Chains A and B, each alone.
Chain A
Amino acid sequence: KAGVTQTPRYLIKTRGQQVTLSCSPISGHRSVSWYQQTPGQGLQFLFEYFSETQRNKGNFPGRFSGRQFSNSRSEMNVSTLELGDSALYLCASRDRTNTGELFFGEGSRLTVL
């Protein structure tokens, strides 16, 4: 079974721009969660999608948004980028019928200049 795939792996943007990150979950997994990881704050929960619906949302401003498609692939978007948005964005999928273990992708490392 292929793992969780995230694209792009690395990207550089400037303040004010927007960015879209993509995540393909493990086949059969319908839940996709997004996390922001920074050295100071660790992994912070952004949102979770299940069957194309946002189930949970973290404490991030409205500039952070996401969606999920019918094939369970998910995208997250950050608009009006700020320097503080520089981070590793991790996507994780899980099969809701078991323990709920998260399977992570390699992440998308965003640098905002």
Chain B
Amino acid sequence: GQNIDQPTEMTATEGAIVQINCTYQTSGFNGLFWYQQHAGEAPTFLSYNVLDGLEEKGRFSSFLSRSKGYSYLLLKELQMKDSASYLCAGPNRDDKIIFGKGTRLHILP
């Protein structure tokens, strides 16, 4: 199968930095997406990495290593509003976008 794995839950403190990891089968995917989903809302796009390396967008950065089948989302200067689920997703060879089960991030004051 084509699995995407990420931790189920994480907890971090307001103002801190947190890294959410995602691993996938290297033979399956062409790049990685990260989405944010607040409770009761639709997922919204955060980033898409198709090449290896780090891409930074304000407080959020995303990293990809295609050879290792590994990606992470880095959130800096955490705010209470960052409490949400973070979904890792990849387009497979058939161009289906397959999602991991999501990481629920809890921010403590």
On A, residues with C-beta under 8 Å from B are 4, 33, 35, 41-45, 48, 55-56, 58, 90, 99-107
Contacts and interface: CB of A to CB of B under 8 A. Distances in A.
- Of the listed residues B89, B91, B95, the one surrounded by the most CB atoms of chain A closer than 10 A to its CB is B95
Contacts of B94: 56
A58 B97 CA distance: 11
A91 to B, nearest CB: 9
Contacts, number: 49
Contacts of B98: 45
Size band of the interface chain B makes with A:
20 to 34
Contacts of A100: 48, 91, 95, 97
Given A42-B87, A42-B101, A43-B87, A102 B96 contact: no
8 contacts: A45-B96, A45-B97, A101-B33, A102-B97, A104-B44, A105-B42, A106-B41, A106-B42
A101 B48 contact: yes
B87 A104 contact: no
Contacts of A42: 87, 99-102
Contacts of B28: none
A56 B99 contact: no
A103 B45 contact: yes
Interface string B80-95: 0000000101010011
A17 B33 CA distance: 36
B7 interface: no
B43 interface: yes
A63 B75 CA distance: 41
A56 to B, nearest CB: 5
Contact of A55 (B41, B44, B45, B95): B95
